Chains A and B, each alone.
Chain A
């Protein structure tokens, strides 16, 4: 049994003197490495990073300066030569600042973005002449913290503290308008591996289309991808499908084959069929395939086919007039077909392989691949996605340049490519601010794209990295989403936990409710590759192992195809392939033959209608990998999800069986995420309880950080009395969780004591509360901007501070002489928080505090803008004290949440013989149905630990049936003079009498959740009403009412409480008195007459009265005449009365009247 330590002194030492060399928690940095690694890959690595690869891929745009159609004119080739991202710095016009670096803390406090200059080196040449270049500033690009573009990169904890960061700030996110944002990881299809699919939707593509298809997601070296699909048609034909700029195109696959290479039907036939000549299913279909194509298209040679393709796709691919059809055709192949491969020869072979796999799928020789299995998935990393967007925006930039030139031409402006001035002018007239577009992407998560980037969603890419507590913060970086496309899907198959994800995705840590199973978290040891492994030694090693060359005559599932990152390297027999795979694995772990350790050796053995066999090697980016121990060498192997399916990895050393297991897990806990690992004794709990704990850990009012003075988050929760748990998994220390305590050790008695602990309520000891149990604080930041209503360029008219005029003295109680609030002063609703002098009015005014909850002023920060103008903005941080109240939510670490129902006096609490009284009482009924035995064990371990003054390790799967924690901790309790099972005889605090049963009492770590009554309570007697219906408005913020809905109404009816029902539905809602005409029965025609001398105003019915003019020759008594507001005179209509109705009835009547329907009411007595 391993033990845990408190490490109090170590921690204190580390806080006082942060390490000057490296962090004490390397695992934290490893956890977020995929984010930083992928961002760094944009600017670092081979060929100057992904962005420079991307601009190479974009190539040059060709522009001609002629308006006439018969000649082309001068040719301008413009391209982006290289991309450079600087480090965040102050604007160049600021000459006063000594330090020109902008640091992240400043961005957080000033609520601006952490971004740096994006510079493009644009080169152009006229008529293929001399190249000219210019460096263009393309706006400020938000950069990732601690990436190579950040000032914090590689800083030691000591330096980080000096830069006003957390001592273990690990970065991986962006700061946009002061908010920390990160790009969520997304699950996408595994790259460069053709996947066999059966999708009913494929059949709806067109006539004779079937459900069979082969899909491959090809990824270019710059990490942009292009998906190719082969469709099987019921007549045996195969179509190649791709989408380009959100449009789909279908091409017969033979056309692609013939365009790729000068080839013959024989070659295609052999390449697909190989030696399986006797397979008539295949030969029949292939014959059909080749014949129908030749018949319908009549294209035989490579050049003919290319020209045909080029002709058809010229418009779509923006072929310039100087390009021939053949060149356009080649461009299509380069841009679309199997873009991960360079040579057409390789593409041709891969396409043949895909066709064969498709036929196998149709014939039922192989099964479809499961796109929901981790085996066929990889992760789209934030940095790569960011790069993809930058690439697209750069291409857009060049296109805009082109459009600007053509618009100049159309408008008849002088266009002179030779003149540098003209080029510069074009640059000035197009939108160069690429950085802003990326900032928009980060702040909204919306992808604005012409191509769609081969992705299935347009929004939801970014999330706020909330710092509610450290658990939540770190989880954001380990989160992988399946894609919002799947969230709307009716079927739940995508949400299933598949055995393939063992060790890569945590089986515990997923939310319940709508994102369940779609939003997963990586297992804590799972890494994601951000670099291409050096696979140059692999082909050599393979040929050494006797793999025959690619050119050999072989095809089909009968032989084993050897592929490396989607490129066919050769063929071998299945028997040999197994040996090759094993040898490769041995070599890579041994470190010999120049084979990288993280090479994925996916050997798919031949099977009866199983997965299509072959030896698939992967060494690319974005793969999930994890370490396991390789038994023959006793060294670490890095395995991926593709190969893992066919490997035998023992979970514990005990279960290793000879000739079966090749690997063993380093620890069974490696399959759990960081948070799931922190649940103590989670192996004793019913599994959903562990899921709940993962959720609740993230909602805990804990410690968001220690550098709170340098943050300006909208809302921060902080537990003032945080402790290190007595019972904790050892990983707790490895991840440095003690730097951010999340709860308090509480003495918990499981007893039904007062009746106030019914139904998950819990009782808190009043004295414990008074001593500070669970005491928390909420920090809120309000940004005050005096220049809000001021337009750009207007002079500043409002100045912070008091003016010379007379203003109420009482303001000085809260405000200092400078007009800013005093630090530490208590403010209540309506109190002044800042005074300013308004020039236009010549008066001093104040802004007031708008919250019903009293707060204390914690900090006031004056915020400057980038110009040197007068200060107009400030942020005020309020401190709101939140001692535990009745109605606040607490939970243990086992998904056992409860609401505080009473603060019970200490004297009345039950007590043990030693005089110990529980801090918290929970009801025993919380356990039988939930089966959170882990909580019992924690209680036991906590008690033993408290008694002996030591911490206990709560890592799951450390105990066994023969060595139970009950015995382990029971012995410790016995040694301390306590009952073996953790029970104690207790006495009633009220009578002093011993309780009938002994009580289970121990120490459990309790979390205070952030859901507090103070944020939730809603009361109203009267208040604002909706002006249309006169019913109470809704919403807590507007002090609205709570709806008595249909079901509540039913309940009231069921109880027969008619009076209550009327009270709720009418009297307390829109009860109104209104006048009604008894003659015509109308609500709407009544109105008040104008009071005249000698008579009061009366209610008259307008439709029942007659106009005075109509009585031209009769005598009308003056007292019978009444007047409306417009001076019109009437007679009659006096038979009205007042009724009580719900106001909406009047509204309904009006609406019906508008449709020509009259409501008539009979009133009695008449």
Chain B
């Protein structure tokens, strides 16, 4: 990930189209592993806000409590300033507080003869001084997603606690609805094998991304050294974060994780230096011996910094 070193051959991004909840770009000059890691991180490890605890005071609707709670959880909430919030498990508070959660309230009662629809826009947020935790609303009427329907005399009184989380834990925290991902549209690398009945051309539609790469020369010998280089990525979000945020935050998350690995691997060096300066060590328990293998000695220090 020598991103800054060489702009010519280093990673590059060409944005092909960009909308509010959607971006399409080409990621160039990265390894397949990197590109896929970004994809996986975007889908599962970018923190967002979603309703996690539901306190039900009154529910006389036809839907069961847990069913409504599940529906509420899936409502996308604006998470742009999610960094302001800490994870509930890391917070110093007992259960949840303003620093680790956003409180929303839903109170609705139907008094008319016709059916009353309860939408995400009916969720009232406790003021927290920002847009964080507002339900995402994208329809023209400004209603948002439908939560449930009430008949005359039915009532809902619910308090929701939205918390920060990642999609690894539950799909409701995923900022993306889908991440499109493609490389090698001409199948020059022969990673796959197109099955056909009569002719490949008739039965396999050409990818749109074919235009972005040169058509293969049928005469050319197979280049077994070639690597996938251009990745055509298409991010579609659910509105909680902008596609830009999703991408940037995914890189951040990825970097943090890598840094974490690096720290773990270099623990010995770090700790020995700490020991010298009188800081905390952990290895002392093993009888004061420094482990024989030293990764940091020859090259580690410079390359990981």
Contacts and interface: CB of A to CB of B under 8 A. Distances in A.
Nearest to B74: A771
Contacts of A991: 32-33, 36
Interface in A733-781: 766-768, 770-772, 775, 777
B184 to A, nearest CB: 7
Nearest to A985: B192
A824 interface: yes
Interface string A840-873: 0000000000000000101000000000000000
The main secondary structure of chain A at its interface with chain B is loop
B59 interface: yes
B213 interface: no
B195 A997 contact: yes
A767 B167 contact: yes
Given A906-B167, A996-B193, A989 B205 contact: no
Interface residues of A, number: 42
B181 A915 contact: yes
B256 to A, nearest CB: 17
Interface stretch (A507-515, A934-942, A971-979, A1154-1162): A971-979
Interface string B150-168: 0000000000000000011
A879 interface: yes
A824 B170 contact: no
B39 A992 contact: yes
A988 to B, nearest CB: 8
Nearest to A978: B205
A907 B40 contact: yes
Contact of B65 (A824, A907, A979): A824
Interface stretch (B102-110, B172-180, B266-274): B172-180
B127 interface: no
B180 A914 contact: yes
B39 to A, nearest CB: 7
Given A771-B171, A992-B35, A981 B192 contact: no
A983 B203 CA distance: 10
B192 A996 contact: yes
Interface string A706-723: 000000000000001000
A987 B195 contact: no
A767 B115 contact: no
Contacts of A987: 36, 181
Nearest to A824: B65
A879 B192 contact: no
B205 A974 contact: yes
B181 A992 contact: yes
Interface string B18-42: 0000000000000011011101100
A974 B65 CA distance: 44
Contact of A905 (B168, B178, B234): B168
B77 interface: no
A996 B192 CA distance: 4
B44 A915 contact: no
Interface string B219-258: 0000000000000001010000000000000000000000
Interface string B100-134: 00000000000000010000000000000000000
Contact of A770 (B37, B171, B183): B171
Interface in B55-87: 56, 59, 64-67, 70, 74
Contact of A16 (B115, B167, B207): B115
B56 A824 contact: yes
Nearest to A825: B65
A916 B178 contact: yes
A856 B64 contact: yes
A777 B64 CA distance: 10
The main secondary structure of chain B at its interface with chain A is mixed
A1165 to B, nearest CB: 51
B43 interface: yes
A781 to B, nearest CB: 16
Given A979-B203, A996-B193, A824 B115 contact: no
A994 interface: yes
A995 B234 CA distance: 19
Interface in A952-1008: 974, 977-981, 983, 985, 987, 989, 991-998
A1015 interface: no
A1085 interface: no
Contacts of A916: 178
A677 B70 CA distance: 35
A993 B234 contact: no
Interface in A901-919: 905-907, 911, 913-917
Interface in A875-889: 879, 881
Contact of B203 (A905, A917, A981): A981
B194 interface: yes
Interface in B173-220: 174, 178-184, 189, 191-197, 202-205, 207
Contacts of A767: 167, 171, 174
Contact of B171 (A766, A824, A994): A766
Interface string A93-129: 0000000000000000000000000000000000000
A161 B233 CA distance: 52
A914 B234 contact: yes
Nearest to B149: A16
B64 A770 contact: no
B52 to A, nearest CB: 13
Contacts of A858: 64
A994 B33 contact: no
Contacts of A998: 192-195
Contact of B192 (A974, A989, A995): A995
B76 to A, nearest CB: 13
Contacts of A881: 64, 66
A300 B9 CA distance: 123
A997 B204 CA distance: 14
A876 to B, nearest CB: 16
Given A770-B170, A979-B203, A980-B202, A906 B194 contact: no
10 contacts: A775-B70, A777-B64, A856-B65, A858-B64, A879-B64, A905-B44, A913-B207, A993-B32, A993-B36, A998-B193
Which 8 A-B pairs have CB atoms at the shortest separation, nearest pair first? A992-B36, A915-B178, A767-B171, A915-B180, A994-B191, A770-B171, A980-B203, A913-B182
Given A856-B64, A906-B43, A992-B36, 13 more contacts: A770-B170, A777-B64, A824-B65, A913-B180, A917-B178, A977-B205, A979-B205, A980-B202, A983-B195, A993-B32, A994-B191, A995-B191, A997-B193
